[in-house]
């Protein structure tokens, strides 16, 4: 029977086959001959739906078709809308009659080629995630400083189609869980309304749209969001200053007749299976939980993470100390050439105003509370700092929630945007 398991036996080529091999029509065997040998009863693997789909793929790769069949059947009984499981089920039946050279070759319909390709991509994303154990052994370089009230943070790896939850344990991001997720049809780095891309950057969950509310306000369209939606703060302050447009970027579930969508299939939102969206939801604090969306997650040792955290804290405290000590020029040197304030001032106007204000000060005291620092990735990495600023001087007392965005200029971290936090 080993000839029936070609796509399973070629484990080293599996990832390439998932992405590149075209679907093929099954060849009908001679009806006068037995079509397949009777399959013994298998043992179904246990675990989450994702663990079981990966277990079924492992069984096929190892030639254990009976266990693969039992696992897929049990999974479909529990999740009757799991399309990837149906694809494997079709392959398992086809393998009884002929060898298959790739996942989905048993489907036999060229009209379904695009959907089969999407399912291959989903399988690839799930397999690739299992091969990367970094979240359990290393720390995310993007989650540097939690504000005390922020119990959890969410990290979205756009390239891996993966969403992670980390808990604030004495300031250290500690892994809680992760799930497969769908992002925009055209990928990430959203720039304008309707471009079907998922934004990159640091955002905050700023609402919860329950399913009953969506049913009332969206009618039949409510089913698109499954169990509900959790809007995030796109466009944020820096997005607006760069002319980025759009709205309605949410974390949400999927329609009732779908277990999971393809890795790139939304209009820009981050979507998960309904079961997994509810799992993520229990860690969300509306108005507090950061959602950091990066092109590719970076995992570092705790020593490296601590070094980056200390450096980020030093940046912010250096800025605060120079401002408080009325060291006007060193303070202004902290701002980038392309700096913009929330009221539209460029660096020249900002500097002129600050010099004038500083001239009237004899002393000042500045305290920063509820400080958080998160790092986005990509070709132009940024630091997003948020805090409650308590400013006191000889002629002014002021408290405000402030946000800064830092970016490297000639290898030095500088502030490119500063203003009131939305």
Residues with a known catalytic role: 252, 269
Non-local (6+) Cβ contacts of 212 within 8 A are none
Report the distance separating Cα 422 and Cα 419, nearest Å.
9
Which is nearest to 254 in space by CA: 237, 274, 276, 269? Answer: 274
For residue 8, give the DSSP letter.
H
Element (H, E) at 302: helix 302-324
Report the distance separating Cα 63 and Cα 80, nearest Å.
25
Non-local (6+) Cβ contacts of 201 within 8 A are 234, 236, 238, 239, 292, 293, 376, 382, 384
Strand pairing of 152-157 and 162-169? antiparallel
Report the distance separating Cα 296 and Cα 291, nearest Å.
14
Report the distance separating Cα 119 and Cα 82, nearest Å.
10
Report the distance separating Cα 21 and Cα 24, nearest Å.
9
CB 322 within 8 A of CB 330: yes
The crossing angle, in degrees rounded to 10, of helices 65-78 and 83-95 is 150
User: For 22, phi and psi rounded to 5 degrees?
Assistant: -75, 155
Report the distance separating Cα 383 and Cα 201, nearest Å.
9
CA 257 to each of CA 262, 336, 362: distance values in angstroms, whole numbers, following the listed order: 14, 50, 67
């Amino acid at each position: 029977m080993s000839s029936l398991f070609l796509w399973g036996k070629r484990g080293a080529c599996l990832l390439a086959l998932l992405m590149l091999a075209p679907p093929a029509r099954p060849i009908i065997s001679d009806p006068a001959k037995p079509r397949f040998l009777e399959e013994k009863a298998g043992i179904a693997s246990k675990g989450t739906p994702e663990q079981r789909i990966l277990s079924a793929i492992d069984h096929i790769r190892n030639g254990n078709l009976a266990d693969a069949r039992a696992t897929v059947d049990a999974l479909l009984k529990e999740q009757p809308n799991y399309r990837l499981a149906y694809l494997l089920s079709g392959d398992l039946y086809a393998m009884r009659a002929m060898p298959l050279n790739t996942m989905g070759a048993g489907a036999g319909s060229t009209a379904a080629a695009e959907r089969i390709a999407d399912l291959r991509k989903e399988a690839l994303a799930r397999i690739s995630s299992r091969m990367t154990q970094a979240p359990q052994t290393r720390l995310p370089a993007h989650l540097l400083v939690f504000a005390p009230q922020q119990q959890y943070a969410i990290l979205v790896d756009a390239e891996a189609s993966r969403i992670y939850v980390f808990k604030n344990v004495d300031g250290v991001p500690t892994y809680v869980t992760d799930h497969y997720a769908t992002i925009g049809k055209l990928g990430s780095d959203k720039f304008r309304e309707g471009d079907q891309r998922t934004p990159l950057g640091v955002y905050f969950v700023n609402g919860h749209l329950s399913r009953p509310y969506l049913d009332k306000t969206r009618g039949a369209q409510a089913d698109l969001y499954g169990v509900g939606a959790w809007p995030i703060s796109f466009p944020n302050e820096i997005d607006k200053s760069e002319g980025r447009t759009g709205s309605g970027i949410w974390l949400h579930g999927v329609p009732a007749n779908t277990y999971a969508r393809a890795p790139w299939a939304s209009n820009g939102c981050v979507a998960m299976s309904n079961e997994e969206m509810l799992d993520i939801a229990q860690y969300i604090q509306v108005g507090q939980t950061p959602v950091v969306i990066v092109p590719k997650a970076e995992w570092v040792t705790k020593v490296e993470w601590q070094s980056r955290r200390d450096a980020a804290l030093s940046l912010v405290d250096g800025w605060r100390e120079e401002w408080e000590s009325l060291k006007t020029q060193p303070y202004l040197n902290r701002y980038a050439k392309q700096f913009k304030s929330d009221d539209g001032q460029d660096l020249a106007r900002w500097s002129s105003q600050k010099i004038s204000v500083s001239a009237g000060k004899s002393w000042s005291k500045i305290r920063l509370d509820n400080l958080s620092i998160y790092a986005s990735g990509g070709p132009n990495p940024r630091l997003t700092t948020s805090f409650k600023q308590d400013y006191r001087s000889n002629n002014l007392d002021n408290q405000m929630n402030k946000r800064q965005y830092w970016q490297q200029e000639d290898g030095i971290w500088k502030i490119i945007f500063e203003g009131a936090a939305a």
